[in-house]
Chain A
Amino acid sequence: MSARDRQPRTPMLLTTLAALVLTVLPLPAWLDDARPAFVVLAVLFWSITAPRAGGIALGFVAGLMIDVFEGTVLGQHALALSFVTYIAVREHQKIRSKPLFQQALIVFGALFVYEFIVFAIDGWSGHPAMTAGRWLHVATGALVWPLAAALLGRTYEPR
């Protein structure tokens, strides 16, 4: 393995962009709440497998893009995603060594923290915040994690 392969910047950016596209893809209303936060999953994956490639900057920029797409207060998702990325980057070795099932549990926690920050800022900035549906993607995201991690893993280590 050369040094170039250890910093998979191109697949990182491409998959994050793809996740962004999946996030804005129009879906029927009943499916919309269950849509996993693909961007968060992608950013988490890259912070765990290659913490030096993107780091917290990736989380910040991806979060800012979510803010632009969803029309929320600029910085809302950026803050939430930077925080989750920071935790993931800091603990990447511990998380990486866990089996996929336990990783999914950690991802569940991370998604919950993420949604909680978004929810809190919604409340403080005077936007309607309280629906039960907004928490659903935390569970679906954790369920999707093993699959997402396997797919993302293939994009840069074709072995």
Chain B
Amino acid sequence: MAFAGGYRPSPGRGPSPGFRFTLYAVLSITCMFLDQRGGWLEKARYVLQAAAYPIQLVVRSPAAAWRWLEESFETRAALREENERLRAQNRELMLRTVRYDALVRENAQLRGLTEALPPLIERWLVAEVVNVELSSLRQRLLVNKGAQNGVFKGQAVIDESGLVGQTMRVGPWSAEIILITDPEHAVPVQIERTGVRTIAVGAGDARALALPYLPANADVREGDLLVTSGLGGVFPHGYPVARVTEVRRDAVQPLAQVRATPLAGLDRDREVLLVWFEETHPAAPSSAPVSGDLPAGDPAAQPQPAIRREPRPETPATGGSGSFSPTSDPAVPAATPAIARTAAVQEVPQ
């Protein structure tokens, strides 16, 4: 044998390890090539993901069992307290819904439409988080709903306070969600106060997003709300994404260094919502990538039923309407940086 290792191939045991290794190496490289190039291996991955799902459930079982135990031993007083709180919350939400309906009608009237548009989110599905991966290289969630529930690749995922991410790989009973904070993910966003469009890129940390394409003179401040701009064809317009926490302007750098904190509880969520949109709705994600390069204060933008963390009774008319705000700066459309437009092309939907 040519190998120095003293492996004695016995007759009838098949080919030598060197030959076998070459075989497996060729197989691996073919796999990688096909997986990287096209959707050839999509089917294989679908099957493998189904096979992997039981193991992922086993891994989660201790935590699930503990939660179940905790819940079953909850005292009557605690339950009553929770019931009380939920009832109060329900009352408040009912009131807000009524007011919202009135606003939608009023808005339609103001815009000369004969009737109010239906809500943007047509259908949603609550999915439970099965597994979490939050490292600096990958920020992913695994949820317990898959193709059998109608989930598709590139579907928007939200929670009750903000954007979570999009589905990346869909198995029969599970789906992998890439979070907006994954370093390979980028969301086209708009600063709500000014209407400036840019791209928010994941920073590899569940509490941080980076806005790398804003010029140093861009009008951005700490506390600004970032909403989705609707470009790129995955997310709808006007959904809350993050709040700016840090703006650094370095005299020698042409671009400002801006960081933002996602509004969604990416590292705390137990449940997320997979959503389907009304396709004909003006605020639905456009299918053409960058063709919808609307001026920043576009009145076609519709208010979203976006649930905010803090109620803002003083300015109900500007509630979730993205950039359609009477107080917005008149010079703003001109301030939309060209770089944001070009950057919008490199949005990564997967």
Classify the secondary structure of B's interface with A: helix
Closest residue on chain A to residue B7 by CB atoms: A90
CB <8 Å contact, B32 and A64: no
Query: In the complex, which residues of chain B have a beta carbon less than 8 angstroms from the beta carbon of A33?
Result: 135
Query: In the complex, which residues of chain B have a beta carbon less than 8 angstroms from the beta carbon of A71?
Result: 138, 140, 168-169, 176
CB <8 Å contact, B58 and A69: no
Query: In the complex, which residues of chain B have a beta carbon less than 8 angstroms from the beta carbon of A92?
Result: 5, 7
A68 in contact (CB, < 8 A): yes
Closest residue on chain B to residue A75 by CB atoms: B31
CB <8 Å contact, B21 and A131: no
Interface stretch, picked from B40-48, B220-228, B231-239, is: B40-48
CB <8 Å contact, A68 and B21: no
CB <8 Å contact, B7 and A74: no
B28 in contact (CB, < 8 A): yes
Closest residue on chain A to residue B13 by CB atoms: A52
Query: In the complex, which residues of chain A have a beta carbon less than 8 angstroms from the beta carbon of B25?
Result: 79, 82-83
B125-142 residues at the A interface, CB under 8 angstroms = 131-138, 140
B32, B35, B183, B204: most-surrounded residue (chain A CB, <10 A)? B32
CB <8 Å contact, A128 and B134: no
- Complex: A75 Cα to B44 Cα, angstroms: 12
- Complex: A73 Cα to B184 Cα, angstroms: 14
Q: Assess A75 versus B32: contact at CB under 8 Å? Given A20-B55, A94-B6.
A: yes
A60 in contact (CB, < 8 A): yes
A36 in contact (CB, < 8 A): no
Q: Assess A68 versus B52: contact at CB under 8 Å? Given A60-B27, A78-B31, A92-B5.
A: yes
B109 in contact (CB, < 8 A): no
Contact count band on B: 35 or more
Closest residue on chain B to residue A20 by CB atoms: B55
CB <8 Å contact, A55 and B59: no
Query: In the complex, which residues of chain A have a beta carbon less than 8 angstroms from the beta carbon of B336?
Result: none
A24 in contact (CB, < 8 A): yes
Q: Assess A32 versus B135: contact at CB under 8 Å? Given A78-B28, A79-B28, A90-B3.
A: yes
- Complex: A25 Cα to B142 Cα, angstroms: 13
A6 in contact (CB, < 8 A): no
Report which of B29, B137, B168 forms a contact with A134, defined as CB distance below 8 A: B137
B36 in contact (CB, < 8 A): yes
Chain B min CB distance to A124 (Å): 9
Chain A min CB distance to B33 (Å): 8
Report which of A32, A57, A75, A89 forms a contact with B35, defined as CB distance below 8 A: A75
CB <8 Å contact, A86 and B31: no
Report which of B21, B35, B52, B140 forms a contact with A83, defined as CB distance below 8 A: B21
- Complex: A51 Cα to B63 Cα, angstroms: 37
For the A-B complex with A21-B58, A75-B31, A131-B136 known, give 17 more contacts whose Cβ atoms are closer than 8 Å.
A24-B56, A26-B59, A56-B17, A59-B24, A60-B28, A65-B52, A68-B48, A71-B140, A71-B168, A75-B28, A75-B35, A78-B27, A94-B5, A127-B137, A128-B183, A128-B184, A128-B204
Nearest first, the 6 closest Cβ-Cβ pairs linking A and B are A75-B31, A79-B28, A86-B21, A90-B5, A75-B28, A75-B32
- Which A residues contact B (CB, under 8 angstroms)? 17, 20-21, 24-26, 29, 32-33, 51-52, 55-57, 59-60, 63-65, 68-71, 73-76, 78-79, 82-83, 85-86, 89-94, 121, 125, 127-129, 131, 133-134
